[in-house]
Amino acid sequence: MVAGGNFGCAKGIDMSKHENKAKFGLRNSTLNRRQFIKLAGASAVSVGAMSWSRAPIFAAQPARKRIVIHGERQVTSLGYHNRRETEHVSMVDAGLVTQNPVTLERVPVLAEELPSIKKGTWKIDTQKKTMITVYKLRPNLKWHDGKPYTSKDFEFGWQIAKHPEFPMPDRLVPEMISKIETPDDRTIVIHWNDLYNEAYAIQYTHVRAFPRHLLLDAFSAGDMKAFANLPFWNKNFVGAGAFRVVEWDGGSRMELEAFNDFALGRPKIDRMTFKTVEDTNTNLAAVLAGEVDFCMRSTISFDGAVILREQWEKQGKGKVLTSPASWTWLNLSRDNALYSDVRVRRALLHAIDRDAMAQNIFKGERIVSHIPLSRVRKSYKTALATASIYKYDAERAKKLLAEAGWKPGSDGVMANGKGERLEFEFRCTAERRDHEQAQAIIADYWKRIGVRTNIKNMPNRLLNSAENRSRWPGAFIGSHNVTVEEWQERFHTKNIPAAENKYSLENVSGWNDPKKDAILDELNSIITPARSEQLQVEYCKMFSEALPHLPLFFSPEVLVVKKGLTGITPRQESGGQNSSSWNTHQWDKT
């Protein structure tokens, strides 16, 4: 795969040069900037006392370095499954390899080095379509409980991932592995049943080790439901990352201590408190009050970032970092026959003035997206030039709806010959300010062409509940990464969420097309950079014609870093392979 170009505050590189993813239930209020600053200043003490009380340990050991981090996603698991978050996981666990989110370069962590064709540790048989990769673990690796971390633990982690009854969201890599051999405690020999271009850089999102001495008996019992719900996966988690879990408060708060025996050296920070705070105004108040050292993605809204730049960063209190790491899209339910005609989807996209929306809401810092490809990728310009572009054209939208059999009813709402109306539920994540703003604007644009929506927003914890996960009856605004390496799990037909997979898979659009699947399969095989770029262009062209999602805009990720905290890097692209906490062992507080 290839990355290139320069955008935002991160510099891209050409990857072809390397061989080598409610506890606080406050609602957002509609305050203007001056009102909010006044409120924040007046209530900083009370807000801090309410939501960020300090534990006695902070006062007891003032010489130790401690930081407070805010995130917006409550999690239930630090493993492969359930509600998980890459930032949490990368703090407490580690894989053989990680990825630098700025350069997109693969970096060995628990492995001594990346497998190499030149060194004979990556062998490819193109005729049989099989491979062997050999990873050598660093010496003297340990789990957080002090027990040795061995190659057998990695083999065990693969056995968990490929178990058909374990709720693994993405089995692409586990199922491409036919066998793992462990000739000694430090050597992992992986046999592949297909060609896979990421085989030299297995990250914790693909396959990772788990401690056999703690989990083997429960796994061998065969009850995967019970196994998947063990307290090990959260409050009793034992990993091999830079920090270890010492307290777990239902996924809304984690207390983490530096792991002295981390593979890359003991972290410079001694203790981290990670809190889940969904409300962006609450997070903004915490920053202004000096109660938080680092606000991760989505914890601060775009409007909040503007306030902080004017009232906080200019005073030298810290930095507000932004990068267009992901994109925001609108999906029309795969289960609703009203949207099965592509003319309806095209009409609804034509009806939205996305340029005006971006300018109005985001003051030009976010740009309209037309394809699911990052602007830092080398193929982006060519892909954009060949894609279908749906410019704002309300009359074209009405014409397409008419061609699809929709006409205005007596109340102005479009109806078809069956008496069905273009009226449906419209969801987004509650308290996600940018999505709520976009939703209101889009609903108004659609109303002008005879489409009526009923707003029903939910917080993340409800959207991810068993009854709502990965599905909605009408329209939904969501966001995710546009990382090429993760297109397979986002869009392959085999990854469509369904009852039999507990709606845990990620092709929420339901896009089902064999030609598209063939492109995704080839992208994951061993191909030249030029062929990869060609396939990316072909894929984006197909996407723009089929519109499984209606692309809205690239989403800048906002990171807020208090003065004195160093080592934070904004991500070039989002996704499980890219984490802002990839290098927590290098963070420092001065």
Quick: pLDDT tens for 298-357.
799 888 999 999 999 999 999 999 888 888 999 999 999 999 999 999 999 999 999 999
Q: Given a cut of 60, is residue 56 above it in pLDDT? A: no
Q: Give pLDDT, residue 460.
A: 85
Query: With contact defined as beta carbons under 8 Å apart, do 485 and 21 qualify?
Result: yes
- pLDDT tens, position by position, 95-135: 999 999 888 889 999 999 999 999 999 999 999 999 999 99
For the chain, the 3-state helix, strand and coil shares in percent, each to the nearest 5, are 35, 20, 45
CATH superfamily of 6-93+223-324+556-589: Periplasmic binding protein-like II (3.40.190.10)
Closest CA to 347 of 369, 333, 366, 332: 332
Closest CA to 583 of 188, 105, 234: 105
Q: Give pLDDT, residue 125.
A: 95
Number of Cβ atoms within 10 Å of the Cβ of 35: 11
Q: Give pLDDT, residue 142.
A: 98
Q: Given a cut of 60, is residue 53 above it in pLDDT? A: no
Q: Give pLDDT, residue 50.
A: 30
Does residue 579 or residue 398 have the better pLDDT?
Answer: 398
Q: Give pLDDT, residue 16.
A: 35
Q: Given a cut of 80, is residue 4 above it in pLDDT? A: no
Percent of the chain at pLDDT > 70 equals 89
Q: Where are the domains positioned within the chain?
A: 6-93+223-324+556-589
Closest CA to 349 of 416, 409, 414, 396: 396
Quote the CA–CA distance of 244 and 236 in Å, as a whole number. Answer: 10
> Could you give the C-alpha distances from 115 to 137, 240, 453, 529, in angstroms and in order?
11, 21, 53, 19
Percent of the chain at pLDDT > 90 equals 70
pLDDT band at 366 (very low <50, low <70, confident <90, very high): low
Q: Residue range 222-246: average pLDDT?
A: 96
What's the CA angle centered on 89, arms 85 and 94, to 5 degrees?
145
Q: Give pLDDT, residue 33.
A: 42
Q: Residue range 484-505: average pLDDT?
A: 91
Closest CA to 549 of 331, 328, 327, 326: 331
Q: Give pLDDT, residue 14.
A: 34
Across all residues in the chain, what is the average pLDDT? 87
Q: Given a cut of 60, is residue 10 above it in pLDDT? A: no
> Which tokens hold the place of 186?
């430090």
Q: Residue range 30-57: average pLDDT?
A: 38
Query: With contact defined as beta carbons under 8 Å apart, do 52 and 286 qualify?
Result: yes
Query: With contact defined as beta carbons under 8 Å apart, do 492 and 525 qualify?
Result: no
Query: With contact defined as beta carbons under 8 Å apart, do 367 and 548 qualify?
Result: no
Number of Cβ atoms within 10 Å of the Cβ of 466: 7
Quote the CA–CA distance of 590 and 588 in Å, as a whole number. Answer: 7
Quote the CA–CA distance of 371 and 388 in Å, as a whole number. Answer: 9
- pLDDT tens, position by position, 147-181: 999 999 999 999 999 999 998 877 889 999 999 99
Which long-range CB contacts under 8 A does 401-404 form with residues at least 24 apart?
Answer: 401/343, 401/344, 401/347, 401/449, 401/450, 403/343, 404/341, 404/343, 404/344, 404/347
Quote the CA–CA distance of 127 and 429 in Å, as a whole number. Answer: 48
Quote the CA–CA distance of 164 and 228 in Å, as a whole number. Answer: 12
Give me the residues paired with residue 323 across strands.
Answer: 557
Query: With contact defined as beta carbons under 8 Å apart, do 479 and 326 qualify?
Result: yes
Q: Which of 53-57, 264-268, 496-500, 554-558 has the highest mean pLDDT?
A: 264-268
Quote the CA–CA distance of 386 and 537 in Å, as a whole number. Answer: 7
pLDDT band at 359 (very low <50, low <70, confident <90, very high): confident
Q: 3-class SS at 472?
A: coil
Q: Could you tell me how far CA 238 lies from the centroid of its own chain?
A: 23
Q: Given a cut of 50, is residue 64 above it in pLDDT? A: yes
Of 36-40, 48-52, 224-228, the range with the lowest mean pLDDT is 48-52
Q: Given a cut of 80, is residue 589 above it in pLDDT? A: yes
Q: Give pLDDT, residue 102.
A: 86
Quote the CA–CA distance of 403 and 214 in Å, as a whole number. Answer: 62
Q: Give pLDDT, residue 355.
A: 93
Residue 480 is which amino acid? H
Q: Given a cut of 50, is residue 467 above it in pLDDT? A: yes
Closest CA to 481 of 468, 492, 472, 490: 490
